[in-house]
Amino acid sequence: MNNNVHNLIIIGSGPAGYTAAIYAARANWNPILIEGPQLGGQLMTTTEVENFPGYPDGVEPFQMMDDLRRQAERFGTVFVSGVVTKVELGKPHKIWVEDTDVYETNALIIATGASAKYLGLPSETTYRGRGVSACATCDGFFYRKKTVAVVGGGDTACEEAQYLANLCEKVYLIVRKPFLRASQIMQDRVLNNPKIEVLFEHNTVRLTGEGKVQGADLVYRKGEPDEQLHHIAIDGFFLAIGHHPNTQLFRGMLETDEEGYLKTLADSQACIGAAGVFAAGDCCDPRYRQAIVAAGSGCKAALDADKYLKTL
């Protein structure tokens, strides 16, 4: 092996990336982990993690991610802070960090996670950072004692609505279907919270306000004979309508599904399209999207990378 070429680079600092690093470091591959734009990954945008095994009283995301990071560090993972801007897959793979530093590696684990989706309304862009947010736990504090709306009917939307209900005067939950998709326990909590008003079968048409969000125009039962337009007065508008995978860097190089989630072989975390490239966590998981699943796939990716590196 060329001495300038590293054994293994891991991109991403969520549960998948850190778990891959723990396993790869303990196997003596001296992995380098590039932390990316959001240290700790998406989990850092939640309030408390109650469903990660091993924390019977729940754990703050910062604490959990710090624990994982220190565990990876203990076995010799080297951390690089920065964002990967370009990748060339080959022998070796080349990774550019912040366009300037180039790293070469024999194996690569992609654990770049996923990012929040927006509705795509022009007014959403106008008010981004001025009342529009995709992270209640990051920005909820600014809306204390105010009225806000959350869009979405899944677990994230319900969790964010409850979080905001603790801070705000009132929370509208705007749901496009006549039912919630969230788990039953989350639905019960939302439906029994007197501060949350669920607006079923509503879609957002536009946001309004002078320089910041002050309201939203909604349509009820769009296209039906009883279609109606509503206006709600709000100070904040929170998106919780799902995520898209952070895989743009690999477009055209690795096989993905139509939403861009990386495809892996049926019996391993190996990506399809280049040898020695593995994927773990939400960037290849449109289905479960849980921290524990991401951690499990990070472990599998590290074991698969270990096997691959031994063949070189």
Binding site for ligand NDP (CB under 6 A): 51, 119, 151-157, 159, 176-177, 181, 241-242, 289
Contact 48, 59 (CB under 8 A): yes
Q: How far is the CB of 151 from ligand NDP (least distance, A)?
A: 5
Run of H or E residues at 291:
helix 291-311
Out of 99, 101, 138, 188, the active site residue is 138
Report d(CA 94, CA 272) in Å as an integer: 18
Please identify, using beta-carbon distances, which residue of 126 and 137 lies nearer to ligand NDP: 137
Q: Which is nearer to ligand NDP, 89 or 239 (CB)?
A: 239
The CA distance from 312 to 309, in Å, is: 5
Based on the number of CB atoms within 10 Å of its own CB, is 293 exposed (0-12), middle (13-18) or buried (19 or more)? middle
Min dist CB 197 to ligand NDP, Å, is 17
CB of 261 to ligand NDP, least distance (A): 13
Is 299 designated active site?
Answer: no
Distance CA 170, CA 161 (A): 10
Are 73 and 79 in contact by the 8 Å Cβ rule? The answer is yes
User: Known catalytic residue: 188?
Assistant: no
Query: Is 139 an active-site residue?
Result: yes
- For the bound state, the minimum distance from the C-beta of residue 174 to ligand NDP, rounded and expressed in Å, comes to 7
For tokens 């952070």, the residue is 246
Eight-state DSSP code of residue 250:
G
Q: Which of 66, 67, 99, 135 is catalytic?
A: 135
Spatial neighbors of 225 by CB under 8 A, at least 6 apart, are: none
Shortest Å, Cβ 116 to ligand NDP: 8
- Which one, 173 or 270, has the nearer CB to ligand NDP? 173
Half-sphere exposure of 191 (CA within 13 A, CB side): 13
Distant-in-sequence, close-in-space partners of 6: CB < 8 Å, separation ≥ 6:
30, 31, 32, 103, 104, 105, 106
Catalytic annotation, pick one of 57, 67, 99, 139: 139
* Strands (DSSP E) found in 40-135: 78-80, 84-88, 93-97, 101-110, 114-116, 132-133
- Residue 160 C-beta: closest distance to ligand NDP, Å: 9
Q: Which residues are catalytic?
A: 135, 138-139
